[in-house]
Chains A and B, each alone.
Chain A
Amino acid sequence: MLEFNFWTILFSIINILVLFLFLKKFLFGRINAILEQRANVVQSEINKAKEESQKAEKIRCDYENSMSNAKDEAKKIIQDAQKTANAQSAAITQQAQAEANRIVESTRKELQLERERSVASAQNEIVSLAMEAAEKVLGREMADDDNRAIIDAFLAEEEQA
């Protein structure tokens, strides 16, 4: 029962070592390899997700920037358009005003001219009439030029009075 046997001890040691090496290679080696692989996969997935979220954040920032830029741009365009429109309307108004003024002025001048002309023609008429009347009254022809001068002078006096 308690006798020692060299061969049993030796073979037991060999058995244990063989089983250990076998398990180390085929159980622990494989399981640890797969665990490590899984850890790597998870790590890379986490990294990828982090990268993706960073990318998304960047895109969001860009989008916001471009949105605010577009808003500014639009505001500027509207302001410009408003300014242009204001300037144009002012110019048009001024032009119209000037045109109107011009028309009024020219009309006024024309009227003046017309009046002067009609006054002059009326004067002529009056002078003629007066000379005719005086001829009739005096019964003779008057020295035309002299008399005309006289009457003109008279009319001018009248006018001044």
Chain B
Amino acid sequence: MGEKLVEELENRTVFTIPVDIPLVGPIEIHESIIVMWGIMAIIMIAVLLMTRKLKVVPGKAQALLEMGVEFVYGFFGDNMGKAGRRYVPYLSSVLLYLCISNVIGMFGFGLKPPTKDINVTVAFALLSIILIEAATFRGHGGLLGFLKSFLKPMPIMLPINIMEIAIRPLSLCMRLFGNVLGAFVVMKLIEQVCGAILPMVFSMYFDVFDGAIQAYVFVFLTSLFIGEGIEEENERLEAAEKLSLTAAK
């Protein structure tokens, strides 16, 4: 039983392209990457089909799609304000990607959630921290403001603020990885104890609920950090808007 579980937990290399690149070795394509490609293909085909014939007067499917887009704008808008609108497409893409990745294990066919591979969550976390820092840089309008933001809310917070650059992606990555891996292990154990019906019930919690929650938490925290970084930009925007409103009056 234990051996089988360990085997399941391993990140298998599906194929290797024998090109020896210095320092990193031959190109290895892992199972998780293959699953990601599959998810991407499904998402892309679905999006292409749904956005094929958009009309000004929408049909039911288009209205649903628009509602979804409006929803993510509203959802992230709460955290990031007006200046954060430009980051919504990325965060929505990640949310969709993570949601499907996390719950894909429940469909069977030997599919394993790619997010149970720590390398995948590292990639997500890396992109998140790059986006957060870039948005903060932009929000403070340059290098000086960006560096000053490390002294806020008070200079004594400097070491903590610097550490956060590493802590934030680490916690994002580990939380996602740990949750999905834990759910995966528990589901495998349950499947070995009882093969029918019981896994389905638990899958609703461990795969669907936990998976969706973790995807939500990941993008929520990322948007929260971005919102923190672009707070000043939002204030500037609001002030400018108020000014133009009073000017219009």
A residues apposed to B, CB below 8 Å: 1-13, 15-20, 22-24, 26-28, 30-35, 37-38, 41
Contacts and interface: CB of A to CB of B under 8 A. Distances in A.
B82 to A, nearest CB: 15
A16 B123 contact: yes
Contact of B29 (A7, A20, A22): A7
B35 to A, nearest CB: 10
A135 B96 CA distance: 167
A23 B89 contact: yes
Contact of B36 (A6, A15, A28): A15
A24 B93 contact: yes
Interface residues of B, number: 45
Contacts, number: 118
A27 B92 CA distance: 11
Contacts of B36: 11-12, 15
A34 to B, nearest CB: 4
Contact of B94 (A6, A9, A11, A16): A16
Interface of B: 9-11, 24, 27-30, 32-33, 36-37, 40, 43-44, 47-48, 51, 54-56, 58, 62, 65-66, 69, 88-90, 92-94, 96-97, 114, 117-120, 122-124, 126-127, 181
B93 A20 contact: yes
Given A23-B92, A31-B51, A12 B56 contact: no
Contacts of B69: 27-28, 31-32, 35
User: Max chain A CB contacts within 10 Å: which of B24, B40, B47, B181?
Assistant: B47
- Tell me whether chain A's interface is mostly helix, strand or loop, or mixed: helix
A8 B30 CA distance: 7
B163 to A, nearest CB: 21
Nearest to A10: B123
Given A7-B27, A12-B36, 20 more contacts: A1-B118, A1-B181, A2-B118, A7-B28, A7-B29, A9-B123, A11-B29, A12-B114, A13-B123, A15-B36, A16-B94, A16-B127, A19-B40, A23-B92, A27-B51, A27-B65, A30-B51, A30-B54, A32-B69, A33-B54
A18 B30 contact: no
B127 A13 contact: yes
A19 B93 contact: yes
B54 A34 contact: yes
A20 to B, nearest CB: 4
B51 to A, nearest CB: 5
Contact of A31 (B55, B65, B114, B126): B65
Nearest to B123: A12
Contacts of A1: 9-11, 118, 181
B122 A9 contact: yes
Contacts of A31: 51, 54, 65-66, 69
Contacts of B37: 15
B214 to A, nearest CB: 16
A9 B66 CA distance: 33
16 contacts: A4-B118, A8-B32, A8-B33, A9-B123, A12-B32, A12-B123, A13-B126, A19-B43, A19-B44, A19-B97, A22-B40, A23-B92, A26-B44, A28-B92, A34-B54, A41-B56
A4 to B, nearest CB: 6
B21 to A, nearest CB: 9
A20 B90 contact: yes
A11 B33 contact: yes
Contacts of B114: 12
A35 B73 CA distance: 13
Contacts of B62: 34
B47 A26 contact: yes
Given A5-B28, A7-B29, A17 B51 contact: no
